[in-house]
Amino acid sequence: MTAHDFEFESIDGDPLPMKKFEGHPVLIVNTASECGYTSQYQALQSLWSDYQKSGLIVLGVPCNDFGNQEPGDDIQIKQFCDSNFGVDFPMTKKVSVLGDDAHPFYRWVESEFGEAAAPRWNFHKYLVGPDGALVGMWPSEVEPLSDEIVNAVKELL
């Protein structure tokens, strides 16, 4: 199994199969609008703007699993991201990333890579390679524009 075997639903309600991103690196980030890390939306948008033409996909996955910091519905989330950070990278509908109700992608990450690979808070980042393999993961405190993440992305482009 790879990340390409999973499908999300876009924040607009359209199917969003990960297979669509085959051949591209994808940075998947569980997001929240009322978190101390919410300002990372700006860096995620910068990363997307800088590298999308080279093939990078940034995928925001809103969730309300940590401190109820994403209370809004999908329309409110999309408006918040657009009006506050100019987000135009793809986003999914709000999903759970923990426990039995977790989206299948997140259950796969945990089953394949162990409990320590599960997100511990909002803005946990996973880098999926062009072949769908999980090639990197970073906790919330690692900024999207950190050398560690940018260099990992560049290696895949």
pLDDT tens digit sequence for 99-148: 999 999 999 999 999 999 999 999 999 999 999 999 999 999 999 999 99
- Residue 108: name the closest of 133, 73, 75, 136 by CA: 133
pLDDT of 46-74, one tens digit each?
Answer: 999 999 999 999 999 999 999 999 999 99
- What was the pLDDT predicted at 60? 98
Which CATH code for domain 29-156?
3.40.30.10
Residues 53, 122, 135: CA angle, nearest 5 degrees: 50
Catalytic residue among 11, 35, 56, 134: 35
pLDDT level of residue 40 (50, 70, 90 thresholds)? very high
Tell me whether residue 63 is one of the annotated catalytic residues.
no
Cα 68 versus chain centre, distance: 18
Domain extents in the chain: 29-156
